[in-house]
Amino acid sequence: MPEPTLPALAPPSPPPPSTASPASEASDIHPSLPPDTTSPSYRKALKRHLATFQPASSPSLSAFRDAEKRFKCRFPPPREEVSGALDLALLDAGRGEEVREGWWVGSPGVDEGRVREVRLQEGEGGRKGYLVPSVPGLVILPAFLLPREQRQLVRCCLQEAAKSPNETNLDTHYLVPPDGLWAAAQERPGEEIKPRAAVLHAPETGDDDGEKGRRTLIANPPASATSVANLLTPKVSAASSPNLSPALPAQLLPKLRWANIGASYHWTSKSYDLSRAVPAIPCEIADVCKRAVRAVPWGEVYIPSAGAAAGQAPGWESWTEDYTPDAGIVNFYGLADTLMAHIDHSEVDCSRPLVSLSLGHACVFLLGGATRETAPLPILLRSGDALIMSGPCRRWYHGVPRVLEGSLPRSLWDRLEGEDAREWAPFGRYLARARINVNVRQVFPPGMKVERLSAVAPEDVS
């Protein structure tokens, strides 16, 4: 087989550290670079890939799965596919440098009629949001978070969200200290964390989701008011792995995949476990998500100026007043991590807004339809973007097939606007190879409180 022609996709040279932070601190952070397909190492890796690559034996992939595979491709990098993704940063002249340095560039979507602009409510500085007419209930708020707000949320996710009483994927397998993995890594870096099974001397019973937080697909029926008793039934914990060795905090940080906040989400059964106490969602996260919902002119989302109803979402008129997030998940992605196509239908009220915040590296977000056969819309989400799913699209398939290497904005590693570079350095080093996603939702409609239900026995629910 002749050697394939390689596209010239050499990345730009890495920018020098900004003078906004001390060079000694900035130079200690080395963000990921975009792929360099002209390098000898890439060509060597490509040859190894082609020598072992086996084409799919069946062309019967669903439309969503086909899109996932194209964006996950490493040889060559899917720059052409990404160029067709909706990239609303291109409509903001203030983000031009961020886009150029990030290498990956999508499409603004305005000329093609894929988006419709709306002005956010007063108090948001005249900022804009965007609706996607083909996806009823979807609202995108580009650059909703200022750089300093992004840094504040990064701290919150690592220091507050990923510690007791909130559960993480590592708690199943390790005796993570109560003050959390991040505190252990910064304050006691040489202190090993023991495996849970080794200390308990016996494996626990239950289904094993694995140390890496693998998420199996389970076809649960959508939650409803009549299924509350199931949510109040205690769920069996996943089994601890019996074959793990003690590990240093720095060795476990890259294995941190998720942290529950608010009502406990049981990954094995893909449902909430309200038999457990419900911790408060960190106020920094809850406040931002409520602000995002209040910023949206929902009358333009569900009663467009053209007069036709854009889908249905009972109660949207009161969301700006009564939206109260009570559950959420913080996802921690490495550069090679993905999130498979899935539908969120564990909430009793599945039309109320789900708010998703992006921090760190950019990603490709796919939003399909009610089945995997619907070709998904690719959206390029950058750090600081907020995305809200509400109404009909809440029960549509979505996923993240690609974290985009080389896309960490400089405001998260060396342009710190006067902040203490030394204090930020550990967070910048973490983000150099990571993306954080915060997604928050409201499990029950107004009048049904998670805190009250968690104190009720299942047999008391009729």
CA distance 450 to 441: 12
Taking the C-alpha atoms of residue 386 and residue 403, their distance in angstroms, rounded to an integer, is 16
Pairing of strands 116-119, 128-131: antiparallel
Contacts of 89 (CB under 8 A, 6+ apart): 95, 98, 99, 142, 143, 380, 382, 385
Single out the residue of 50, 85, 60 nearest to residue 367, CA to CA.
85
What residues contact residue 456 under an 8 Å CB cut-off, 6+ apart? 232
**Contact call for residues 386 and 330 (beta carbons, < 8 A):** no
Q: Please state the residue numbers annotated as binding site for Fe cation.
A: 342, 344, 398
How far is residue 290's CA from residue 303's CA, in Å, rounded to a whole number?
22
Cα–Cα distance measured from residue 161 to residue 75, given in angstroms and rounded to the nearest whole number: 36
Q: Which amino acid is at 37?
A: T
Contact between residue 316 and residue 310 where contact means Cβ atoms under 8 Å apart: no
Q: Report the C-alpha gap between 405 and 103 in whole angstroms.
A: 9
Known binding residues: 342, 344, 398
Distance set, CA 126 to CA 45, 99, 129, 194, 357 (Å) = 48, 22, 10, 51, 20
- Residue 10 DSSP code: P
Q: Please name the residues in contact with 80: beta carbons below 8 A apart, sequence gap of 6 or more.
A: none
Q: Give the tokens for residue 185.
A: 């890594």
CB 423 within 8 A of CB 159: no
- In whole angstroms, what separates CA 426 from the centre of its chain? 21
Q: Which two tokens stand for residue 443?
A: 């499990």
CA distance 236 to 238: 7
Instruction: Name the 3-class secondary structure at 330.
Output: strand
